[in-house]
Amino acid sequence: MANEIEIKKKSRKALRTSFTKTANELEALFSVDKLDRESIEVAWELLLSKYDDLKIVDNEIYELLLESATEAELETDVEGRDTYFKRFTGLKVKYNSCIYLVFILLVMENLEREVPVRSLHSRNKICIRMVNLANRDVDIVWINFIGQYVKYGRLSNQSYIDVNTFETHPWIAVDSQRKDRLLLDKQFVYTPRSWRENFQNLHPDVPIESIPEHINLRILVKITVPVYSLRYRTLLEVRSCLKSTGDAESLDLPKEIVDDLKLVMQERSRYPWKN
């Protein structure tokens, strides 16, 4: 029995050393200015695997100790296990915060990339019908020839609007009250395509040659709500109660959450028109 316990403790020591090394590497990835999501994901999965292995050996040792160890020895063993549990839990919290921060930064980066998006010409006319399926009032916005956002109209829930636009004209949809971005045909920025291209996209097995070129039927474009993570959705809910980034700074929240709030508030400021 004693020999079996010693063998398992030796195995646990090696696992703890390996766990600590990976945990330190993950901590280092969290501390840099520019977060590397891929490296963080890899390190986290490795740490998770090592911690699972460690828990198995911990449980095996504890079961063996129950048969012969004193109460003091059991308490010492549990305290050692708790040390690694606390380290793992702390890193788990950091990991979740880090991944969602990277997500928000990516959203903001993608939005910033939209600045040069603009209408190019008005040669090929496209007829579309935008249908609001978002269960809220929606502002329809056209991006003009110099990249400015021009509010085209407002749609109540389940209503639609027929728009005669052109092939290179980008459109976006925004929640009228909250200023959250919505999806147009499953895209944050919708650029109309010809009826022929749209038909081929819906029916990829149909040869393009067999689709008439000069048909210009009205194309259905559905407005829907994107699926956000729980954390990002929570940030949007908090943002709806705030007027400025100064309000975010006044909240008794961790700095990383305040910084996230500021990012989503910057997104809202892109739509200056009044309700």
Q: What are phi and psi of 181, to 5 degrees?
A: -75, 140
Of 141 and 194, the structure prediction assigns the larger pLDDT to: 141
Of 60, 88, 112, the domain-final residue: 112
SS3 11: helix
Same domain, 104 and 162: no
Same domain, 59 and 178: no
At residue 102, does pLDDT exceed 80?
A: no
Of 110-124, 219-233, 234-248, the range with the lowest mean pLDDT is 110-124
Q: What residues make up the domain containing 82?
A: 2-112
Same domain, 102 and 133: no
Question: Looking at residue 108, what is its pLDDT?
Answer: 57
Question: Looking at residue 225, what is its pLDDT?
Answer: 92
The percent of residues above 70 in pLDDT, for the chain, comes to: 89
Of 112, 145, 180, the domain-final residue: 112
Residue owning tokens 């079996």: 4
Calpha distance 106→104 (Å, rounded): 5
In a domain? residue 145: yes
In this prediction, residues 28-57 reach a mean pLDDT of: 87
Burial class (CB in 10 A: 0-12, 13-18, 19+), 187: middle
Give me the CATH number covering residue 205: 2.60.40.780
Question: Looking at residue 116, what is its pLDDT?
Answer: 66
Q: To the nearest whole number, what is the mean pLDDT of the chain? A: 85
Same domain, 108 and 231: no
Question: Looking at residue 3, what is its pLDDT?
Answer: 82
At residue 27, does pLDDT exceed 80?
A: yes
Of 17-21, 51-55, 91-95, 129-133, the range with the lowest mean pLDDT is 91-95
In a domain? residue 275: no
Residue type, position 190, single letter: Y
